[in-house]
Every structure is written in structure tokens, then in C-alpha cells.
């Protein structure tokens, strides 16, 4: 018998590391431990199971060839020597190299010796200390059992109104799960001033909020929850400073915290998560750790971060398995690539948002762009909206975000940027990026190229912008020192010319050079079109003619429409 490997945690990272080690070292004695009886399931699929897109919970536990990943599977198919479910690891004795465990069904306690230990203890949902959080009907999605219980309540018709606390990815996925198939009256309460805070920035977040409202979901930002109330021990409403929201179910989607208690108790180095090196060894070289419970390096900031993603947990499990078998393998770090579905939208990002980049000390700015995600003349081409975040001083790309239709277009752009972010690309590197083109799949110039061109124009002073918030304020307040010049077709511009006489002027795109006398030189000139392309070209002609106060709102009117703003 070879070395003894004990793996604690059997959802994502743990099974991957155990199976990889066993494949590389068939002679090893591998033990897999988990306190639950449902193991190795696709946790990221839980919202789609609740929605009904995935009808059976076992589908979350099946392989691609339809074997359920249970104790039998791991022992007989994968060769894991001991698969101990409903078994809680209570203590690690590093000197004696044993793990103390308690078998939850029998109450029996014993010790399991190891040569190498793997900690894949995952994370626990964070539930803020709000009064009433212990009422029946208040959930945090911590495991598959909770998901099954929610699905059963829905199927029995016990839920008519749902309140979700937190508008991160899980919160929005759960909102869709309740509102779409089940038709539940759904409210999302978010502490911050936008949905998906710190992941995407306000221009794209406002699109997502508007889309949620179009789908019947009530979105409340800047929410300050006072308490959760109930009757006869069961939840009835959530009370917020500005009102109350009836609820038959409340779901906390307020993030997770790494499960580090076992590691901390064993004297391992722990900060927010378990500290590991790039081979995923802890401060004890005989003990490895991976998944939601660890800290890893963010490759843009260079700082340690906790990033609980199933994709990372699986990759880390393979790295651990390699190193257990003596194959030196590194996990270099992360750039935070994520993607999600929200009704008819695909939302993705990687790297840093503008707010995070500035908080990290970068001289950050952003460029916005929108165009069709495939050739504009190809049937059913739809718009994708993208944001590029870069450092103004050194032109380094820091992050990228996209909101597009529910196709693979957003995913393709996130993949392209996330693959080069570790190499510290510049705006010019993105302009030079070679990307595949055919009209059914892409434009000759990809949205990545176009937003990089916009960023370069901003950096070189060729494009001077004004935020939409400021432009709208001037329009609504009737700023006498500002005039809006609409470069679109006369039929598009006519309603606004009539509504704002003397302040909204129409000069069509191809007539700007010949009709500059219509545009005052003594006012701020805000140039308007649908996407900002025509407005930008008009700005170039005006600047060449000596106009000194011209501005273009980023992204054009297409952004306002997706925000639900009508002029």
C-alpha cells in the first residue's frame, strides 16, 4: 500500500483531488470524508433546479454518462478506498498526523491516519444578524438539501411571494427561478446602490435592473432591512426602512465565508481564508487546501483574495492531485472571470470593475461601447454592451464587462480577455488582438476591438466624453449654456427637437461639416446618436474647426433605452 491520503470535503475540489491522486497513484490509500450524505453535486446549478430547468436533483449529481456520483460511484468506479459520508472531521493532530472524526449517525468517534491531508471544506452562507432570520421559511442556500426543500414548497403551492436579500449572481439567479417558471411575486433587496455590486459598474448594472423590472421582479437598491417578521413562527414579511414586503419565503444571497475553523484550530496559517502557496500547500507542507476555503492571488492586483467559484475549485483539485503524486504543478492565481444568465441576458466580467480598480489605487477610467455581437447585417444580430477598464497612466487593461443576449457572445469576449489579463495587456494589445471573424459569429472588428479603440481615443484626447448623468441633468434643468446636437435621421430627432426647442438641434451626421453655422460656438455642445459613433465623428469635425467645448455621452442613446430612460 502506498501513501495514505485523506481528503476532507466531497463537493468539488475534494473529489477532484482524490480522484486525480488515485489515477496517478493507484497504490495510494485514499479516504474521502464529508459531513453530508449528498456529495459531488453541481452547486451552481441549484437555481436552475429550483426554476425547473433541471427537473431532478440527481441530474446535479450525475456524470455526463449518467452515473450518480455517490459513495458507490467513488468507491467502485473511481477506486477511492474509503468514502465516508455523514462523517464530521473534528480535529487535526498534525504531530501524530491523524484526523479525528465523528460519525454523525452512530455518534462513534475515531482517528484516521494520513501522510498527506487535503482540506476542501468549502464555505458557509453569510447571514447578516437581522432580527427574524431564524423564522421558518427563511433560507440561505447552503447545500442541495435546502434546494430540495424550497422546490418541494414551490411544488406544493406554499409560496406566492418571495423576497431575496442580496443582488449578487446567486440572488439574481434565484429571482429568475422564482419569477420565471413559477410566476412568484419576487422582490430583490440590495444594500448597495446597484445590482451585482463590485462585479460590474453602474452603466451595465442599470441595464440588468431594468431588464429585471421588465420581467416583473421588483428591485430595491440602497435597502436597509430592519427586521424579518413572522406569525406563528413562520415568515410573513421583510421590513425595510422605506416599507415592508410580504413574503412566504426569504432567501439570503449575501455571500459566503470560508470554512476555516478546522485549519485554524490545527494551527495552520489563516487570514480570511486558508493561506496556500502556488502549489496549494498550506503552512504545513503535508497539508493541501483548495476551493472556497482558501485565499489565492488576484493576478491584476497581486493581492490575496477569496473567490468561491466551482470552476476554480475543480481546477485546484487537479493541481492538488498532481502535487500529491509528485508532479509539480502550479495554480498561479485568478482574474475573477464569471458569467451568468438573467432571464434573456448574459452577463459577464473579469478583472476589476472601475470602482474596485480605483479603490485599489489605479488611475482607472472606463470606455463603453455597443454594437451587434455578430455582423450587423446578419439575421437576428443583437446588441452587446461592453465596458473596458484601464489604467490611464500606463494604459494597462484592468477589467472587462459585458451584457448581451442569451447567446455565447458574452462568454466568448470574457474568455478572450480573461485569458490575456494575467499577462498585463495594454489597450493597444487589445487593438492588436487577433480574433476569428465570420458574419454568423462576429463582426470584422470585434466588440473588444471597438471598445479598445474608444479607450485609445479617450487616452489620446481624440474623444471627449460627458457622463450621461450630467448630460441628463443639464437637459432636464434647462441649462442655458448647453445645446444638444442630434446627428441621427430627421425622423428620429424630430420629437426631441420639438420637445426642447432651441436646446435640441438636428444636424444630420453627413451634413455636419456643411452646416456648422447651426451649432453655437459659445455653448457646451453635447453630440447625440444611438451608439456614439456618429457623434464621435461629428466631434472630430467640430474640434478641427475650432470648437473647444464639445462632448459625447458614452454609448449613445442605446444605453439610455436599456436603462428604461425616455427623453
Query: CB of 347 within 8 A of CB of 402?
Result: yes
Are the beta carbons of 247 and 237 closer than 8 angstroms? yes
Q: 3-class secondary structure for 500-526? A: CCCCEEECCHHHCCCCHHHCCCCCEEE
If DSSP codes are grouped into helix, strand and coil, which group holds residue 168?
A: coil
The answer to whether residue 44 is catalytic is yes
| Other C-beta atoms lying within 10 Å of the C-beta of residue 521 | 13
SS3 of residue 295 by DSSP: strand
What would the DSSP string read from start to end of 456-470?
A: HHHHHTS--B--HHH
C-alpha grid cell, residue 38: 449528498
In angstroms, the CA 407 to CA 3 distance is 47
C-alpha pair distances (Å), 84 with each of 6, 32, 508: 11, 6, 73
* Distance (Å, whole) CA 280 – CA 319: 8
- List 44, 293, 350, 529, catalytic entry: 44
Residue 522 to residues 477, 497, 504, 519, 532, Cα–Cα distance (Å): 19, 20, 15, 9, 23
For residue 533, give the 3-state DSSP assignment: helix
Rounded Cα gap, residues 362 and 356, in angstroms: 9
Contacts of 490 (CB under 8 A, 6+ apart): 506, 508
Cα gap 350→11, rounded to integer Å = 25
d(CA 536, CA 245): 45
Gap between the Cα atoms of 366 and 355, Å rounded = 10
Region of residue 366 (phi > 0: left; psi between -120 and 50: alpha; otherwise: beta):
beta
Which grid cell is 409? 457572445
Contact 103, 87 (CB under 8 A): yes
Q: How far is CA 407 from the centre of its chain?
A: 17
C-alpha–C-alpha distance, residues 115 and 286, integer Å: 7
Angle ∠(399,405,407) on CA atoms, nearest 5: 90
Helix (H, G, I), strand (E, B) or coil at 220: strand
Is there a contact between 114 and 7 (Cβ–Cβ < 8 Å)? no
Distance CA 531, CA 451 (A): 12
Residues 6+ apart with CB under 8 A from 502: none
Catalytic residue set: 44
Amino acid at each position: 500500500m502506498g501513501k495514505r491520503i485523506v481528503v476532507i470535503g466531497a463537493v468539488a475540489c475534494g473529489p477532484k483531488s482524490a480522484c486525480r491522486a488515485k489515477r496517478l497513484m493507484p497504490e495510494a490509500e485514499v479516504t474521502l470524508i464529508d459531513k453530508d450524505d449528498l456529495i459531488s453535486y453541481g452547486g451552481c446549478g441549484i437555481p436552475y433546479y429550483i426554476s425547473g430547468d433541471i427537473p431532478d436533483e440527481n441530474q446535479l449529481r450525475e456524470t455526463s454518462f449518467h452515473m450518480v456520483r455517490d459513495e458507490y460511484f467513488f468507491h467502485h468506479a473511481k477506486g477511492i478506498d474509503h468514502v465516508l459520508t455523514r462523517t464530521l472531521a473534528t480535529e487535526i493532530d498534525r504531530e501524530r498526523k491523524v484526523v479525528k472524526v465523528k460519525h454523525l449517525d452512530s455518534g462513534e468517534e475515531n482517528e484516521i491516519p494520513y501522510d498527506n491531508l487535503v482540506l476542501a471544506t468549502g464555505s458557509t452562507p453569510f447571514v447578516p444578524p437581522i432580527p427574524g432570520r431564524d423564522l421558518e421559511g427563511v433560507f440561505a442556500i447552503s447545500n442541495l438539501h435546502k434546494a430540495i426543500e424550497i422546490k418541494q414548497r414551490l411544488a406544493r403551492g406554499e409560496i406566492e411571494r418571495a423576497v431575496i436579500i442580496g443582488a449578487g449572481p446567486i440572488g439574481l439567479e434565484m429571482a429568475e427561478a422564482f419569477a420565471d417558471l413559477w410566476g412568484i411575486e419576487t422582490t430583490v433587496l440590495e444594500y448597495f446602490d446597484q445590482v451585482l455590486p463590485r462585479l460590474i459598474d453602474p452603466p451595465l448594472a442599470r441595464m440588468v435592473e431594468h431588464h429585471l423590472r421588465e420581467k416583473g421582479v421588483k428591485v430595491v437598491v440602497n435597502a436597509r432591512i430592519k427586521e424579518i417578521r413572522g406569525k406563528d413562527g413562520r415568515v410573513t414579511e421583510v421590513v425595510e426602512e422605506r416599507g415592508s414586503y410580504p413574503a412566504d419565503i426569504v432567501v439570503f444571497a449575501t455571500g459566503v465565508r470560508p470554512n476555516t475553523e478546522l485549519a485554524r484550530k490545527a494551527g495552520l496559517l489563516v487570514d480570511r481564508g486558508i493561506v496556500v502557496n502556488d502549489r496549494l500547500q498550506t503552512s504545513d507542507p503535508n497539508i493541501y487546501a483548495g476551493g472556497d476555503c482558501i485565499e489565492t492571488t488576484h493576478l491584476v492586483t497581486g493581492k490575496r483574495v477569496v473567490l468561491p467559484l466551482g470552476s476554480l475549485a475543480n481546477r485546484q483539485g487537479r493541481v492538488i492531485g498532481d502535487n500529491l503524486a509528485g508532479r509539480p504543478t502550479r495554480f498561479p492565481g485568478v482574474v475573477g472571470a464569471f458569467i451568468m444568465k438573467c432571464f434573456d441576458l448574459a452577463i459577464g466580467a473579469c478583472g476589476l470593475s472601475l470602482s474596485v480598480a480605483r479603490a485599489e489605487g489605479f488611475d482607472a477610467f472606463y470606455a463603453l461601447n455597443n454594437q451587434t455581437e455578430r455582423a450587423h447585417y446578419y439575421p437576428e444580430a443583437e446588441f452587446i454592451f461592453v465596458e473596458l477598464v484601464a489604467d490611464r497612466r500606463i494604459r494597462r487593461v484592468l477589467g472587462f464587462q459585458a451584457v448581451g443576449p442569451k447567446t455565447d457572445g458574452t462568454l466568448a469576449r470574457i474568455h478572450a480577455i480573461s485569458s490575456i489579463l494575467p499577462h498585463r495587456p495594454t489597450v493597444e494589445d487589445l487593438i492588436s488582438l487577433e480574433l476569428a471573424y465570420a458574419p454568423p459569429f462576429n463582426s470584422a472588428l470585434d466588440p473588444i476591438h471597438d471598445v479598445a479603440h474608444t479607450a485609445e481615443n479617450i487616452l489620446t484626447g481624440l474623444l471627449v466624453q460627458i457622463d450621461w448623468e450630467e448630460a441628463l441633468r443639464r437637459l432636464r434643468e434647462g441649462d442655458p449654456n448647453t445645446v444638444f446636437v442630434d446627428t441621427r435621421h430627421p425622423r428620429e430627432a424630430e420629437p426631441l427637437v420639438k420637445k426642447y426647442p432651441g436646446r435640441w438641434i438636428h444636424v444630420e451626421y453627413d451634413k455636419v461639416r456643411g452646416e456648422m453655422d447651426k451649432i453655437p460656438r459659445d455653448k457646451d455642445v453635447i453630440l447625440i446618436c444611438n451608439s456614439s459613433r456618429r457623434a464621435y465623428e461629428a466631434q472630430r469635425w467640430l474640434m478641427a474647426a475650432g470648437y473647444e467645448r464639445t462632448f459625447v455621452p458614452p454609448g449613445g442613446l442605446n444605453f439610455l433605452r436599456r436603462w428604461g430612460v425616455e427623453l
